[in-house]
Amino acid sequence: MKTIKSLSIILLLSSFIISAQKVELNVEKSNVKWAGKKITNSSHSGSLKFKSGSVKFSGDLIETGKFIVDMTTINVEDLAGKSKARLEGHLKSDDFFSTEEFTESTLEINSSTKDGDLLKVSGNLTIKGISSPVEFEMKKDGDNWLSSLTFDRSKHNVRFGSGSFFENLGDKLILDEIELEVTLSF
């Protein structure tokens, strides 16, 4: 009888271990595209690179995950030459993301639920050492996962041109919402 109980426990544990699978992010094939806008609807866009990432799947759901973005890789893609270099320098400065001090930003996934073809994901985004809760959707696309995430930069002390910190900015106001389009490859 003890042998049957032990065998049952081993089978139960092994089925749990098999169903919970941790996978590493392919940082070369994954990317983050960003867009920021002014009140006038003018905008800038670019990309960032991942340092690392992993998720733990349990069946069709993401149980947990962590992604690290290298903030020193801020790349402006809608400008060229001196304008590109100037904006990249400004985004890396203390006016925006302080990349000398805060070289990394992280996204930690705490849970997900299934909604048709989508995963509704909850987690915490940390930028400039300040965390805030985020919710977003992910969708499987072939070998990749695609996601759109909008976060409020003012929650992370990114103040330049923000109406959350300064008044009377007029057409110089930069919206607090930063839009991210993410492709994850495992």
Residue 184, pLDDT score: 97
Residue 15, pLDDT score: 42
Residue 124, pLDDT score: 98
Q: Which ranges of the chain have pLDDT less than 50? A: 1, 3-18
Residue 4, pLDDT score: 43
Smallest CA-to-CA distance from 127 within 146, 108, 147 is with 108
CATH no. for residue 141? 2.40.128.110
163 lies in some domain = yes
For residue range 88-103, list pLDDT tens digits in order. 999 999 999 999 999 9
Amino acid at residue number 156: H
6 lies in some domain = no
Residue 167, pLDDT score: 80
Number of domains in the chain: 1
45 lies in some domain = yes
Instruction: Domain of residue 29: give its range.
Output: 21-185
116 lies in some domain = yes
151 lies in some domain = yes
Distance CA 155, CA 68 (A): 19
